[in-house]
Copies of this chain bind each other. A is one copy, B any other.
Amino acid sequence: MQVYTEQKKVGKQSVLMGKKVAILAAATVAGPKESLGPLSNFFDRHYEDTILAEKSFERAECRMLEEACYLALGKAGLSPEDMDYYLGGDLLNQVISSTFCARSLAIPYLGIFGACSTLAEGLSLGTMLIQGGFAKYILVATSSHNCSAERQYRYPTEYGFQKPGYSQWTVTGAGAVVLGPAGGKGPRIEAITTGKVVDAGEKDPYALGSAMAPAAADTIYNHFVELKRNPAHYDLILSGDLGGVGKKLNEDILAGKGFDITPYYTDCGVLIYYPHQKVNAGGSGCACIALVFLGYYYQKMLAQELKRVLLVATGALHSPTTFMQRESIPAIAHALSIET
C-alpha cells in the first residue's frame, strides 16, 4: 500500500492534500419527489414510491443505500472485496441504514455520524486513510429518507403535520462514492477543512437552515483564511442543505466577515426541487448533497465543465431528546476542495 507524503496541515482546521486521492466513481438512487425534480435526469436510479415494496421505510432506505453502493462499485469496475474500508453514516438512530448495508457488503466498517455532513466527513476520513497508506480503495456512502427521518425527528408523515415556511423537506435517496488513488479522470481531493461544532442558539427543530448556516460560514471562513484563498478561487462553492433561509444567512455572515461568496455559491437544498413541489425552504438530509453533488456536479467535473469546487456539507447534530430538553441545536460543516 502506497504511503503518500504530500499532505500538509495548514492552520487549525485545514490540510492540503496534494491531489493524490480521487473520486473514482459515484452513484445515486433517488426517491419519487426527487425523481420529479429538476435534476432527475442525472440520477442513476429512480423510484416512484417511498417504500420499494419493502416492509418499512427503514428497509427501503437501506435498500437504496445498498443499491447506490453496488452501482458505484460497478462504475468503478470494482467489487466489495476490493474495498479496504466502508465509511458510512445516516440520520437514523444508531445509523442503522449504514450498519445493515455494511452487514451485506462485508467490508471492514467504520461507522460515522455527522448528520447531513456525513458525506463530507466520510470523504475527508477516506481520503486521509488512503493517503496515509492504510487503504487503496474506500467506499463512502450515505442516505436519508423522508418518511423514516420525519417520523424519527418530528412527526410521522402520515399525520400530515403542517410545517412552517422555513422548514425543509428531507430528501429520499442515497449516494455512494469509491475513493482511490488519483490517475484517471476522477476529480481529486485537494484540501480538507474539518469543522468545529458551532451552536448559534437556534432551538426550533424546523429551522435547521438557520441552525446550520453559522457552522457553514465558520468552516468556509476558516478555509479561506487558513489557505489564504478567496471565493474567486473556486468555480463553485456548494453547500449541502442550508435551503433558502440558511443559504441567505450563510452569505450574509460571510459578507460581514469580508467574503462575498454569492457569485460562486449555491446550495443543494435550493436546487433539488422545483418551487411548485411545495418543499418550503428546500431540501435537506444526508442524501441532498449526495444526489446533487454526486449526481449532477460530479458529472460536470468529469466533463471538465467545472474545475474547482468547494464542497461544504452541513449537519444539525441535535436529537428529539435534546429538543424536548430545550437544548439548542449544535451544528457542524466540513469542507473539501475538489479539483479536476
Assuming A1-B8, A94-B93, A319-B93, is B108 touching A55 (CB within 8 A)? Answer: no
Interface size class of A (residues with CB under 8 A): 35 or more
Q: For residues 129 through 187 of chain A, which have their beta carbon under 8 Å from a beta carbon of chain B?
A: 129, 131-135, 152
B1 with A3: CB separation less than 8 A: no
B132 with A197: CB separation less than 8 A: no
Binary B-proximity of A31-42 (CB < 8 A = 1, otherwise 0)? 000000000000
Q: Which residues of B contact A317 (CB under 8 A)?
A: 94-96, 99, 111
Assuming A100-B330, A103-B199, A317-B96, is B132 touching A128 (CB within 8 A)? Answer: yes
B325 with A55: CB separation less than 8 A: yes
**A79 contacts the other chain (Cβ, under 8 Å)?**
no
A132 with B194: CB separation less than 8 A: no
Q: Which residues of B contact A96 (CB under 8 A)?
A: 317-319, 321-322
**A278 contacts the other chain (Cβ, under 8 Å)?**
no
The 3 A-B pairs at the shortest CB distance, nearest first, are namely A132-B132, A94-B319, A108-B194
Which A positions have Cβ atoms within 8 angstroms of B? Answer: 1, 3-5, 7-9, 12-13, 15, 55-56, 58-59, 81, 84-85, 89, 92-96, 99-100, 102-103, 106-115, 121, 124-125, 128-129, 131-135, 152, 194-199, 317-322, 325, 327, 330, 332
